[in-house]
Structure 1
Amino acid sequence: MTLEEAVAQTKTFTTKPSNSELLKLYALYKQATEGDNTSERPGGFDFVASAKYNAWEAEKGKSKEAASDEYVALVQKLSESYK
């Protein structure tokens, strides 16, 4: 399964994954497509943006290929619960 196929598969989930699972998916996708986070840290009161920033920052140093592979594996695991 490719990254694009995995992204498409997430759109077929019948139930929304947990916030922590969604953050992990977000972070792995951003790392796989853009590499390390180079954006500025959002303001402290923008909790959603801060959570996304921190999740992506936790993947720093991981290669795009490794992040893509982890994303696909996570989608395959989640699809068992949310399909």
Structure 2
Amino acid sequence: MKPTTLEDAVALTKKFTTRPSNEELLKLYGLYKQATEGDNETERPGGFDFKAAAKYSSWMAFKGKSKSEAADSYIDLVAQLSSKYL
């Protein structure tokens, strides 16, 4: 079952019975941030905060994608992942 809205897709991720891979989680994060906030205008995290840096990089990977395109991509990704994790 493919979710039809960003909110439905987010709700579906909470029903996953197994945790997606870190790569999949980062892609979900980046698409979600792009869909809800648009291009990342924040400064890159410094130091040894590798988790924050990975999240920053994931969001930056979608720079230039419109909010609606990012939302559609997020929904598609959740639909794809739901077959693995539900």
Q: TM-score, normalised by structure 1?
A: 0.99
Looking at structure 1, the residues matched to 9 and 37 of structure 2 have their Cα atoms a distance apart, in angstroms, of 17
- Picking from 1, 15, 27, the partner of 1:12 is 15
Looking at structure 2, the residues matched to 29 and 9 of structure 1 have their Cα atoms a distance apart, in angstroms, of 14
Q: Residues 23-61 of structure 1: CA distance to partner in whole angstroms, max 9, x if unpaired?
A: 000000000000000111001310000000000001000
Where in structure 1 are there 5+ consecutive unaligned residues?
none
Q: How many residues align?
A: 83
RMSD: 0.5
Aligned to 1:46: 49
Aligned to 2:31: 28
Q: TM-score, normalised by structure 2?
A: 0.95
Contact 1:44 1:50 in 2 (8 A): no
Aligned to 1:71: 74
Looking at structure 2, the residues matched to 27 and 74 of structure 1 have their Cα atoms a distance apart, in angstroms, of 12
Q: Secondary structure at the match of 1:45?
A: coil
Looking at structure 2, the residues matched to 24 and 58 of structure 1 have their Cα atoms a distance apart, in angstroms, of 9
- Identity over aligned residues, as a percent? 69
Moved over 3 A (4+): none
Where in structure 2 are there 5+ consecutive unaligned residues?
none
